[in-house]
Amino acid sequence: MAYEKGSPFILFNDADDISHPKRLETVRKEFIQNPQAAVVYSTFQVIDENSNPVDEKCLTPSILEILEGHKENPVCGSNAWIQIGIEKGYTNLTSSTAVRTDVAFKYPFPAERVSEDQHAWLRYSAGGGDYIYSPHIPSKYRIPQGTPTVSRARIMHYYEQKAAVDTDGFLEALRIAQENGKFKGDKDSLLVKFYVKLAETLGRENQNKLAAEQIAKAASISLEKTKEVLELKNLISMEWAKL
């Protein structure tokens, strides 16, 4: 509908999250000032069911990983899909993300109901256009305390599906970038780093078996490169990293 009506960009927002009052104004300025931008995103503050701030010590490792990624060297620029895939992991929360409508139309969300946003974000970047980080318009992301998030509570084998969808999204992004002539680097090294990063994310959630499976995938591409990346990230001592 947005594409058909000629709307220039879309701001996603989940029903229980709250946008910053200046989100629309700021995002509009960013797209005007940065004609090459495909995505504008911000950080977020976690709130509970009563809209009270949630202390960081109460957050899950995967949420902390996202926020940590915003504090230092946030994802920006072209080929953001590479930085997301091999360094940061999940980066831009849906309720903090805006995208150019033509990009969203060309790369729709997949049918999967786990990590479908991450799949789209990776393709948005690989398809062309820059990522812009706008830190001054944090969204409020609602996570009821004492209960798992809705998606994790309702979906069996959540982490298995997440690993599969994230992998498919990264491989699709790689394919798109190669077709567009925007990636001509070492594919094997890139994939090794991706699988190690995915293992790291899963390991933080105590999904050790799944994490070990990702390390095995990396090692099947190059055992030497996998060991090198694990050592560089100080992960070699982790139980799931044993080769």
Tens of pLDDT, residue by residue over 27-56, are 999 999 999 999 999 999 999 999 999 999
At 223, is the pLDDT very low, low, confident or very high (cuts 50, 70, 90)?
A: very high
Task: Give me the pLDDT at residue 152, please.
Answer: 55
Secondary structure tally for the chain: helices H, strands E: 11, 6
Mean pLDDT of 179-194: 95
pLDDT of residue 243: 87
* Whole-number percent of the chain with pLDDT over 70: 96
Say if residue 149's pLDDT is above 80.
no
Phi/psi at 142 (5° precision) = -90, 120
Residue 201 scores a pLDDT above 80: yes
Query: Residue 154 — very low, low, confident or very high, per pLDDT cuts 50/70/90?
Result: low
Report angle CA 60, 66, 68 to the nearest 5 degrees: 95
Whole-number average pLDDT of the chain: 94
pLDDT over threshold 80, residue 146: no
User: What span, in angstroms and rounded, lies between the C-alpha atoms of 56 and 61?
Assistant: 10
pLDDT at position 76: 96
Sign of the alpha-carbon dihedral angle for 78, 82, 85, 87: negative
Q: Give the pLDDT score at 242.
A: 92
CA separation (Å) from 152 to 109, 117, 140, 162? 19, 15, 20, 10
pLDDT tens profile 71-113: 999 999 999 999 999 999 999 999 999 999 999 999 999 998 8
Q: Looking at per-residue confidence, does 3 or 128 come out higher?
A: 3
Predicted confidence (pLDDT) at residue 147 exceeds the cutoff of 90: no
pLDDT at res. 150:
54
**Closest residue by Cα to residue 192 from 216, 163, 162, 159:** 216
Confidence of residue 151 (pLDDT cuts 50, 70, 90): low
Cα separation, 133 vs 215, in Å, equals 31
